[in-house]
A and B are shown apart, each in its own frame.
Chain A
Amino acid sequence: MRVVLSNTSGVPLYEQIKEQVKAAILAGELAEGDALPSVRGLARDLRISVITTTRAYADLAQEGFITNVAGKGAFVLGVDSELVREQLLRQVEDGLTAALDAARLAGLDRDGVVEILDTLIATDEPEDAGAATTDRPTGHRTEGQDQ
């Protein structure tokens, strides 16, 4: 299992682990019944706290991607296609929302956005699903307060 963490992405470490394992499952790199590294083994290998890996696995279990068997470890569950589709739809929505935010800043109207989208579809090269979820540029998180 490949997990690569960024210290500067601003995305919490447990979230990064969760998204990467999820992407591997959705992409079929991890199959039903595959064993994941133990939470303590993963914490050691990634040099992070046990609580962080435990939280990532707990979230994955809660979302139905893996199951934690006491004393045995964590295993990949069979992903039903409905769930996969829902996850992918959410990714599409997230991506389009980000695009629309940028379009608004750039002063693009609906036609302009659609034109870009059409061009992209026309020149489409299928993109790696894993990269789409993990490379989200979040930067350092700042929240402006204005009251």
Chain B
Amino acid sequence: MNDLAIAVRHLDATRGTFHLRDVSFELPTGFVMGFVGRNGAGKTTTIRCLLGMLTPDAGEIEVLGQPLPADPALREDIGVVLDHSTLVEDWRLTEVERALAPFYSRWDGARYRALLEEFELDPRHKVKELSRGQAMKLGITLALSHHARLLVLDEPTSGLDPAARDELVSILGDFLTDDGHSVLFSTHITSDLERIADYVTVIDAGRVVDSAPKDELLDAYRLVRGGPEDLVDPDVDFLGLRRNETGAEALVAAGQVDRLSGDLVVDRPTLDEIVVKMGDHR
């Protein structure tokens, strides 16, 4: 088995006026990567490239060991949940199965029906009658029914209530008990999925800001706060520096903390804080 589920190297891509520049990251097989960044940072464009929906201008992509463009059979190994439904709205869930099953050699009808029941989805309902949470669960049901080894989820939590987000965490945890299974999800809300992510790639304005095991990434930065006169040391890079009458706040590489002067509070940042500060330096 290949030990990388996804390898993206020096990817450049254009979508309208938006450009991805030199995007690189790797997801080892058996793990979860959170692909985080603000709206418009390039998450969906990167995912479109990964899925062969957009042809890159430059760079290489390997998915499950196969370089893109890949054999169409690779599609069977990948389960995709996009933030918009690609299904015909008037289909009932029974018709969804009838329409999609022929495209997958390993389609498992019993699994499909069992998962619908587990997720409390009524097979007689139409696609357009589903709530956001139910549509997400249908997407995952479809992916699991053709025995995908890699799940790619674009903004799976957007529009979901906390209970449904919680359920998603359980579903992904179950999926990952098989060490040949991997997950890439993009999100702009990091708190829900922060705990289950093994790796994190932060993207901003079309470039990868950092990509590392989550704990290493969280360890690499400190959030520092001081008075309005503080955070002026010339040999320190202050990311997302914000200053007002009562104080100043910025993200700093952990290795530069020793160079700071003044009476400061040094905290470990959350993933959300890293994403916000990284995006603040324009």
Contact of B173 among A13, A43, A55, A140 (CB under 8 A): A43
Q: How far is the CA of A125 from the CA of B258 in the complex (A)?
A: 45
B213 at the A interface (CB under 8 A): yes
A contacts with B, residue count (CB < 8 A): 24
A48 at the B interface (CB under 8 A): yes
Q: How far is the CA of A50 from the CA of B215 in the complex (A)?
A: 12
A2 at the B interface (CB under 8 A): no
Given known contacts A49-B198, A50-B31, is B260 in contact with A44 (CB within 8 Å)?
no
Given known contacts A40-B179, A52-B215, A145-B260, is B265 in contact with A47 (CB within 8 Å)?
no
* CB <8 Å contact, A50 and B268: no
* CB <8 Å contact, B176 and A144: no
B267 at the A interface (CB under 8 A): yes
Q: How far is the CA of A52 from the CA of B196 in the complex (A)?
A: 9
B window 248-271: CB within 8 A of A = 257-258, 260-268
A119 at the B interface (CB under 8 A): no
* CB <8 Å contact, A48 and B266: no
A12 at the B interface (CB under 8 A): yes
Q: How far is the CA of A49 from the CA of B21 in the complex (A)?
A: 29
* CB <8 Å contact, A51 and B264: no
* CB <8 Å contact, B265 and A12: no
Contacts of B30 in A (CB 8 A): 50
* CB <8 Å contact, A48 and B32: no
* CB <8 Å contact, B170 and A51: no
Given known contacts A40-B179, A41-B177, is B264 in contact with A49 (CB within 8 Å)?
no
A51-94, CB under 8 A of B: which get 1 and which 0?
11001000000000000000000000000000000000000000
* CB <8 Å contact, A50 and B170: no
Given known contacts A51-B31, A142-B265, A145-B260, is B176 in contact with A43 (CB within 8 Å)?
yes
Q: Which residues of A contact B (CB under 8 A)?
A: 12-14, 38, 40-41, 43-45, 47-52, 55, 140-147
Can you report 21 A-B residue pairs in the complex whose CB atoms are below 8 A from each other? A12-B215, A13-B195, A40-B176, A43-B176, A44-B173, A44-B176, A44-B177, A47-B169, A47-B170, A47-B195, A48-B196, A49-B31, A49-B214, A51-B199, A142-B267, A143-B257, A143-B266, A144-B263, A145-B260, A145-B261, A145-B264
User: 7 closest A-B pairs (Cβ-Cβ)?
Assistant: A44-B173, A51-B198, A143-B266, A49-B198, A40-B177, A48-B195, A145-B264
